[in-house]
Structure 1
Amino acid sequence: MTAPTTASRTGGRWIEQWDPEDETFWRETGEKVARRNLLFSVLSEHIGFSVWSLWSVMVLFMGPEYGIDPAGKFFLIAVATLVGGIVRVPYTFAVARFGGRNWTVFSAAMLLLPTVAAAVVMEPGTSYGTYLLVAVATGVGGGNFASSMTNINAFFPLRKKGWALGLNAGGGNIGVPVVQLAGLLVIGTAGAAHPRIVLGVYIPLVVLSAVCAALFMDNLAPVRNDTGAAKEAAKDAHTWIMAFLYVGTFGSFIGYSFAFGLVLQTQFGRTPLQAASLTFIGPLLGSLIRPVGGSLADRFGGARITLWNFAAMAVAAGVVLAASVQKSLAVFLVGFIALFVLSGLGNGSTYKMIPGIFQAKAVARGMGGEEAAAYGRRLSGAAMGLIGAVGAIGGLGINLAFRQSFLTAGTGTAAFVAFLAFYAACSAVTWAVYLRTATPRAGRAGREPAAERPAPVYAEV
């Protein structure tokens, strides 16, 4: 097979046959089609992340005249985080039910609802309950990630998944610092009394992403919802172990992205303009480096990169903790930006691990070749929705930890202690499950020859 077989079904462009593991097919036409879909998937996911993180920007415009205290603002962004995590589960299965292209068009168009609603209500005097409802609506932007990753996972062969998923996710993640830069530009030029300008910019961009998806993306007919795969993935311990690790990487990235500017205002007394001028830096660097994490995982193994990454995140959290106690803004910024960069690297390496783990399980069961690859695709696609949802909800935990810390102590110090302990736990789990070698059998001298020592079971995933 040298070209994808396409057909016109009700509801858009469909490719009937797709085999990315066939090197001839991939080289001659598959790669071109996959890259085109990746490009416009990134665009849609990028806008989705911008809308999902909208309230990390809107709270910077909400001065005393809005009558909302820091705890109330943290709760607004926490609610958006929670909804974004929950909708990732149905969004994952929507790709197979409706087609990747069709669902991308719909999910992109859905972003108009929270964007237009925010443009209508964003002014002093609006009730807190109204803001809360609009924050709930922005959560749909978080779902775009799950459907986009599931869709792109089906387009690429295993050897390219780390790069492709890292680029797809990284390009989407950049939506966070871009909307924050838009907020900075508006605050710096028009002032903090004009949040509607930001929303006015994004409404046409939402329309653009939906139109591009309709014109340039494809549906893959071979992708089917597999209830058995979903149940099997949900019962597999690796799904939940990886969800735990993804809380540490993506949960950190999205939680810090939403909260960073508000922490700067609340703990360090920065003005809206001063906070906005710093808020975007961490999310931008964390987004840009995510494909690097995927590529490093392709080369050295996702488990190895993830282990060292969590160890470094624990160190960075310690730096932020010390800066919080000492009230040093400069050190705080260094440590916090390091957390963003490392969370981005870890996002790429952990997502690379998922298909590798399930393919390794297939090989361990005696499968090989296309049979093992098909099993890996089937289980990893089902697992990604659950893992992505749990990871996003981890961002809720970060925002609630900040809220409680500021309510009780007026600083984020207690929250940083919790984060440091969590990263240490993630390091331990990564080592114990994916890198710890089996206990060698004692040889004649009580030691096994180096050539016969077992390798870490999942070190290459």
Structure 2
Amino acid sequence: MKTAAAERVPRGAYVNLILAALGFLLTAWAWGLISPLSAFYKQHLGLSSVQQSILVAVPVLVGSLGRIPVGALTDVLGARVMLPAIAFLTIIPVLLLTVAGDSYPAMLAVGFLLGIGGTPFAAAIPHGNGWFPPSRRGVALGVIGMGMGGTAIAALLTKPMREIGPDAQFYLCAAVLAGYGVVAWLVLREPPGRTVPAEPFAHRFTEAARQPMTWPLSALYAVTFGGYVSFAVYLVTYLQSQYGLEQGDASLKAAGFTLVAVVFRPPGGWLADRVGGAKVLSLCLAVLAVMAAWQSFAPPLYPWATITFLIMAAMLGAGAGAVFSLLAQVVPRPKVGAVTGIVGAMGGLGGFVPPLVMGAVYGATGHYTIGLLLLALVALAALAYTWTQRNRRPPVDAAVKAPARPDLKTR
């Protein structure tokens, strides 16, 4: 039976949670700066649809893979060091955007560096996980996941800031990141009871990869979070190509999609804590599959496509929250950072591939039907796995005491 002490939230937990989420939000803003401008760069640099897709996908790829070392470093150095350090480092590529816009190779290089802005997720998640008891981690990690709303900030500010000046948003973002870095360094504290692993990175990575739920959670997160990321970076292009919207209108609608997804992430984690992660995730995946299949027929934008995308956003956000609620329950606390790095990386990679596929499909066929049907099929496959595994207990890592109920159901 749980004791009151075990369920007590330590003093300072909420301040640290907010700062961790804010750090991810602001770096995600930087991470998403290129996507709303992709149509401009396509025209300005004479890019093909595939080249445009690569441009928006490069930061996603780097930010995803970078979560693995960032998660491992967070286990050693702590989020108090990693979050402000990443904020300061992200300033460099943000400022380079002011001088790289006339060269495609230069933009690819800056996009590569901008991927740094996608890595703080792997530092913020174990930080939030350490501050809260298991029964509240789903909501806490969902709040941190709302940091992906930073991509909506990029989309919303693109048009008004470019009216001030072509580089105004870049300078503003750099200044805000600098301010956050200072505040985070002064205010952030490590959670009570945090231990520093003595093993080298290679050993910890291997142990994290051997955790029985690491790869199933990675696959599920690649569908939910990956689906969200792919729409966050490609929806502007999709709306312009499929429905002929202007950049400002498309960016506004893409921001709406992002906001719905991030708002539904904490409720997804909250429901998973209470009724079981498999139930919440199964519902989200089922609805997502139906909506993606429906959208493949390119219904009218008003109201059908708009409603469809908002429902998909809600399901992707809630589903991602459910996955990390499961992670917090089935992964031993000392390994959360490393496992989060792997799961987060796979989720980000799930967002790297679809924009490339969508660009290639549109370039070859002139429409997006095949790409959206592929999303529906992937969601159905994830649904089938989740449902069949909901009562199965994964093998226990013999080296570490397993959580009380390490299965997908958890309820």
Structure 1: segments with no counterpart, 5+ residues: 1-20, 359-375, 438-454
Residue 115 of structure 2 corresponds to 139
Please provide the CA RMSD for this pair.
2.3
CA distance in 1, matches of 2:22, 2:63: 18
1:63 deviation in Å? 6.0
CA distance in 2, matches of 1:242, 1:317: 22
Q: Do 1:304 and 1:435's aligned partners in 2 also have CA atoms closer than 8 Å? A: no
SS at structure 1 position matched to 2:120: helix
SS at structure 2 position matched to 1:136: helix
SS at structure 2 position matched to 1:270: coil
Query: 4+ runs of 1 displaced by more than 6 Å?
Result: none
The worse-fitting range, judged by mean Cα deviation, of 330-339 and 277-286 is: 330-339
- Tell whether 2:196 aligns with 1:224: yes
Q: Normalising by structure 2, what TM-score?
A: 0.90
CA distance in 2, matches of 1:174, 1:212: 20
Query: Structure 2 residue aligned with 1:247, among 198, 201, 222?
Result: 222
Residue 41 of structure 1 corresponds to 20
Structure 2 matches for 1:291-370, cutoff 5 A?
291-322=266-297, 324=298, 328=301, 330-358=303-331
Query: Structure 2 residue aligned with 1:423, among 359, 362, 379?
Result: 379
CA distance in 2, matches of 1:246, 1:345: 11
In structure 1, give the amino acid aligned to 2:321. G
Specify whether residues 339 and 68 from structure 1 end up closer, same or farther in structure 2 by C-alpha distance, changes over 3 A only. same
The worse-fitting range, judged by mean Cα deviation, of 44-53 and 333-342 is: 333-342
Q: Deviations over 1:271-303 (max 9, x none)?
A: 212212312110011011111111111111111
The worse-fitting range, judged by mean Cα deviation, of 78-87 and 273-282 is: 273-282
Residue 153 of structure 1 corresponds to 129
CA distance in 2, matches of 1:280, 1:259: 11
1:60 deviation in Å? 4.0
Structure 2 matches for 1:394-433, cutoff 5 A?
394-433=350-389
Q: Do 2:7 and 2:135's aligned partners in 1 also have CA atoms closer than 8 Å? A: no
Specify whether residues 230 and 129 from structure 1 end up closer, same or farther in structure 2 by C-alpha distance, changes over 3 A only. closer
Residue 204 of structure 1 corresponds to 175
CA distance in 1, matches of 2:378, 2:215: 16
Q: Do 2:128 and 2:140's aligned partners in 1 also have CA atoms closer than 8 Å? A: yes
Q: Percent identity?
A: 25
CA distance in 1, matches of 2:237, 2:184: 34
Residue 165 of structure 1 corresponds to 141
CA distance in 1, matches of 2:281, 2:151: 23
1:349 deviation in Å? 0.5
Q: Normalising by structure 1, what TM-score?
A: 0.81
1:151 deviation in Å? 1.8
Look at both structures and tell me which one has the larger radius of gyration over its CA atoms: 1
1:155 deviation in Å? 1.8
CA distance in 2, matches of 1:457, 1:96: 24
Greater RCO (CA < 8 Å, at least 6 residues apart) = 2
SS at structure 2 position matched to 1:275: helix
Structure 2: segments with no counterpart, 5+ residues: 394-404
Residue 459 of structure 1 corresponds to 409
SS at structure 2 position matched to 1:411: coil
Aligned residue pairs total: 396
SS at structure 2 position matched to 1:165: helix
Specify whether residues 352 and 150 from structure 1 end up closer, same or farther in structure 2 by C-alpha distance, changes over 3 A only. same
Q: Do 1:319 and 1:331's aligned partners in 2 also have CA atoms closer than 8 Å? A: no
Residue 84 of structure 1 corresponds to 63
Residue 154 of structure 2 corresponds to 179
Residue 386 of structure 1 corresponds to 342
SS at structure 1 position matched to 2:410: coil
In structure 2, give the amino acid aligned to 1:251. G
CA distance in 2, matches of 1:175, 1:208: 16
Q: Do 1:42 and 1:169's aligned partners in 2 also have CA atoms closer than 8 Å? A: yes
